[in-house]
Structure 1
Amino acid sequence: MSVSVHSTFAEPDPLGSVRQLIEAVLPDARVVDVTPMGPDGGSIRDGTEKAAGYGAPQRITVERRDGSTQRLVLHTLTADAFGHDRRSDRAAEVLLAVDTFGSIPAHVQVVDIGTLTHDRRFLSLVDAGEFYLLTTYAEGRIYAEDLRRIAAEGRATPRDLARCEALARYLVALHEAPGAQPGSYRRAVRDLVGHGEGIFGIIDGYPGDAPGAPPERLQAIERRCVAWRWKLRGRDRRLARTHGDFHPFNIVFNEQSQLTLLDTSRGSQGDPADDVACLAVNYVFFALDAPGAWQGAFRALWQRFWRVYLDESGAAGVLEVAAPFLAWRALVLANPAWYPAVTPRARDALLGFAERALDAERFDPDDAERVFA
């Protein structure tokens, strides 16, 4: 009988660790052999030979107390360019195996899954259910509350302008750190378009009868975004540390205007244009259904945010790539599933803003004026 044991180890384990695992899972078994397995299990090497696979499996032969022999496979997952570059990707593959292997007739069985702790102990996750995350608490109020007040009052206070500048400067400093993982820029662009939380997934979340967003309009936007994926290809030098979800509901200010952020996303690496567009488009969004708020307040915030970021980062190239990131965020804001109170007029304005950006060679922040013309 051959069975599979899955783990989330980044590298194959030495023999001693393998013995430790087997003794924990099968107390009456003794490891007698560990053999690396390649991506192609066949013995013939010709034009059909497979050269790549997901992970680095090892065949483990054990002897049971009754003298019988059993073989298992230890699957250790390795980073690659096919959506497994993050530890979370590799963990997801293992958890999916546990949830699905038993549903397929004649499939190998899962005996255990787990991880190797920092002190080299095995930690089984075979009985795990839903995962949880415990964090510290951010004291203060979300930035969206500031923007709602500004929309209601139609004016921005000196503190509002100062916070806007502080956010731009925060991003300048954040984006100074280059990305650390080769291939992550291409992953970021692929996820921008094709991920469930990206453009494809957000468009899939629209109802078929959303006023201002008929399916044919969304399909045309989607096609433009796919074209932009190829325009961004090869710009790997733009990879930087990013927040990945820099919107007003993830930004907290306390009474002293000290900043705390929530929920960094998308591997905390990508194109800086993502963070910039993510926040900036909200200065347009919060003004849409607040007559006079653009002219009285949000125009100044929009202009100041862009000016400070561009002047202090020196990264004018962000305007060359901003369009698909702005379109993505506009699609979220216009989606009734996310913002059910958005009016048809506001939805149409947001999508029109995105369409013009996608059709331009270079994003022009002054185009926001057309939204309120």
Structure 2
Amino acid sequence: MSAKTVLPAEPDPSRQLREIVEAALPGARVEEITTLGPDGGPGHDLTEKAAGYGVPRRVTVVRRDGSRQRLVLHTSTANAFGHDRRADRAAEMLLAFDTFGSIPAHVEVVDVGSLTRDGRSLSLRDAGEFYLLTTYAEGDVYAADLRRIARERRARPEDLARCEALASYLIALHGEQGAQPGSYRRAVRDLVGHGEGVFGIIDGYPDDAPGAPPARLQDIERRCVEWRWKLRGKDHRLARTHGDFHPFNIVFDGASRLTLLDTSRGSQGDPADDVTCLAINYVFFALDAPGAWQGGLRALWRRFWEVYLGWSGAAGLLDAAAPFLAWRALVLANPGWYPAVTPRARDALLTL
């Protein structure tokens, strides 16, 4: 790193930086702040590095005993390399805190933390696992409805009404376009390469899964990579999405009021993600229930598609749906996620 701009020593440096230093080194004071660039070389030849993942600042501090020490305050900026979300940038800092000490001759970590909404610093060096506290959704998951329909081999009028309500919910949700530049490309990249995407789900298959030999999974994976390039440039499809719209994340109470759980993947992406995520479950719940498809689940499948595709904003969805459908089929066929799936059902899902 090279020194680009040297700020003169100030008697009262920024409150945020001072708080960070004082918390990490009690009794120390900031003497100088220097903004560092991504390249430490003096020249400007073809090897010059123009970009980094943040704006580090060298901080010279005077310790309580009068000695001086140089530290570097690292921050992370949003960019197109997987740091566009606040959670990405937090993960980058926490991973650095957890791993810097494992590499010989590496710089040492002094602290890791966050800036609060009111501008104060909050150290996270003593943090363990993170938690999330939410409200409780009263009612039953939609999967209970689908199991009943499969068991009874018939769909009630209220089942069709709920199916229509879910399609209408997605129409309203997807009616709001995504706002973050680059988010569509990120969504498609994560669809294929994320740990929860195609690559990660396939890695979770045992080599001897009946109906899913490695060669078959490799072929599906290759086709999904090809689809990544087919979807490249379709940024106009970016919309607000739930990201994990399956029957175990959908709750209806006794009055058929809808509550959703666990929005995922940044809540922006291709609407085909949400639509295929739910639609494939109408097939899935019928696979090992003879008569369930003809008796009720087929009617829900058709009604869901009719309502959603009847919306003017659904144009182009079927042209983009294939890799999302493949991904959801891989999840449902994965014995780690659904261990009771039979080899016949797994083969049917992967054929779909």
**TM superposition score normalised by structure 2:** 0.95
Equivalences for residues 266-305 of structure 1 within 5 A: 266-305=265-304
| C-alpha contact (below 8 Å) 1:115/1:124 kept by paired residues | yes
Please state if 1:350 is matched with 2:349: yes
| C-alpha contact (below 8 Å) 1:241/1:269 kept by paired residues | yes
Structure 1 runs of 4+ off > 6 angstroms?
none
Equivalences for residues 1-373 of structure 1 within 5 A: 15-353=14-352
- Following superposition, the deviation at residue 237 of structure 1 comes to 0.6
Q: What one-letter code is carried by the residue in structure 2 that aligns with 1:333?
A: L
- 1:102-133 per-residue CA deviation (whole Å, 9 max, x = no partner) reads 11111111111111111111111000000011
Q: What one-letter code is carried by the residue in structure 1 that aligns with 2:43?
A: I
- Following superposition, the deviation at residue 45 of structure 1 comes to 2.2
Whole-angstrom distance in 1 between the partners of 2:28 and 2:37? 25
Q: What one-letter code is carried by the residue in structure 1 that aligns with 2:146?
A: L
| C-alpha contact (below 8 Å) 1:40/1:51 kept by paired residues | yes
- Following superposition, the deviation at residue 180 of structure 1 comes to 1.5
Task: Structure 1: give runs of 5+ residues left out of the alignment.
Answer: 1-13, 354-373
SS at match of 1:110: coil
| C-alpha contact (below 8 Å) 2:175/2:313 kept by paired residues | no
| C-alpha contact (below 8 Å) 2:239/2:270 kept by paired residues | yes
Q: Work out the number of aligned pairs and report it.
A: 340
| C-alpha contact (below 8 Å) 1:169/1:312 kept by paired residues | no
Distance 1:269 1:48, change over 3 A: same
Aligned residue for 1:6?
none
- Following superposition, the deviation at residue 32 of structure 1 comes to 1.1
Whole-angstrom distance in 1 between the partners of 2:191 and 2:313? 24
Whole-angstrom distance in 2 between the partners of 1:261 and 1:234? 30
- 1:222-277 per-residue CA deviation (whole Å, 9 max, x = no partner) reads 10000000000000010000000000000000000000000000000000000000
- Following superposition, the deviation at residue 16 of structure 1 comes to 2.9
Whole-angstrom distance in 1 between the partners of 2:126 and 2:63? 24
Task: Structure 2: give runs of 5+ residues left out of the alignment.
Answer: 1-12
Identity of aligned residues (%): 79
Whole-angstrom distance in 2 between the partners of 1:259 and 1:189? 28
Q: What one-letter code is carried by the residue in structure 2 that aligns with 1:94?
A: M
SS at match of 2:236: helix
| C-alpha contact (below 8 Å) 1:172/1:313 kept by paired residues | no
- Following superposition, the deviation at residue 296 of structure 1 comes to 1.1
| C-alpha contact (below 8 Å) 1:15/1:34 kept by paired residues | no
**TM superposition score normalised by structure 1:** 0.90
- Following superposition, the deviation at residue 313 of structure 1 comes to 4.2
Over the residues paired in the alignment, what is the CA RMSD in angstroms?
A: 0.9
Moved more, 309-318 or 140-149: 309-318
SS at match of 1:112: coil
Q: What one-letter code is carried by the residue in structure 2 that aligns with 1:115?
A: S
Whole-angstrom distance in 2 between the partners of 1:136 and 1:129? 23
- 1:300-334 per-residue CA deviation (whole Å, 9 max, x = no partner) reads 10010001001124413100000000000000001
